[in-house]
Structure 1
């Protein structure tokens, strides 16, 4: 039955995502980082200084969540918040040298965790899986748009 199949796919994707997230949590714990904090540091490393709003958009997280992450990262000496010279209501977030050093240390740990996730999975299978995920996302977007757009 199609309905049961779709629910099963959703559950499997959700369950796999949770376990993959937990894998990253375990890998990052010795470095006193959470996956969310690590993601913010990576975004800043790639893009340079960003506003809190831009970080929220890039990570698809709520502003309040970003603020909590930044509070912790600032206490750890990994980021600096300063007033945006173009908008005094906004802050610009930059990485510290300590954060850049930590990111270099953590890179191999994160890569090892990612490599372990794909043990015994061929590149062809990975490519197919990613293609199917892209199509599931596209189908979900079309469905959401069809149900939420105003006529």
Structure 2
């Protein structure tokens, strides 16, 4: 007879007040970040955060509109408008896929690569300033917690 390993001790769940506080603070943080980032990106790079993430997604390998829409969790019609604008700005190129002419392949233009690099630097400087308020151990805890909460990391009871 096999013996099962002991199950980890269960943790008490958050209180309703903690859940409300978490949601409120995350919402406020997101709003504050967008209020700081969007005007700066518009002024310096003629972009906003949504278009920044579209460019970033293309750079990171989402080379087809369907894949990009899924990765960014955007409706295809909305993504199409962003792609149209980025193409008019000369930041992306669209081309028929050589393996399947029914599909359009997306890529960054040299101008798009340069704009994205400059935008990344601006975002990192701004967000880095805000994050520098955290002690290094707190930063590690926040990043770990966000990974768990977004299903990008292992739960603490099940490290791998």
The answer to whether TM tops 0.5 is: yes
Q: For the structure 1 residues 136 and 97, does the alpha-carbon distance in structure 2 shift closer, same or farther, using more than 3 Å as the test?
A: closer
Q: Which runs of 5+ in 2 are unaligned?
A: 1-13, 152-160
Q: For the structure 1 residues 23 and 92, does the alpha-carbon distance in structure 2 shift closer, same or farther, using more than 3 Å as the test?
A: same
After superposition, residues 79-98 of structure 1 pair within 5 angstroms as 79-98=92-111
RMSD of equivalent CA atoms: 2.0
| 4+ long deviations beyond 4 Å | none
Tell me which of the two structures has the higher relative contact order, counting C-alpha pairs closer than 8 angstroms and 6 or more residues apart.
1
Question: Going by fraction, where is helix more abundant, 1 or 2?
Answer: 1
2:54 corresponds to: 40
Distance (Å, rounded) in 2 between the aligned partners of 1:75 and 1:121: 40
1:16-48 CA-partner distances (Å, limit 9, x unpaired): 12222222212211210011111111222232x
Larger radius of gyration between Structure 1 and Structure 2 = 2
Q: Which runs of 5+ in 1 are unaligned?
A: 139-151
After superposition, residues 1-151 of structure 1 pair within 5 angstroms as 2-30=15-43, 31-47=45-61, 50-138=63-151
Task: State the number of aligned residues.
Answer: 137
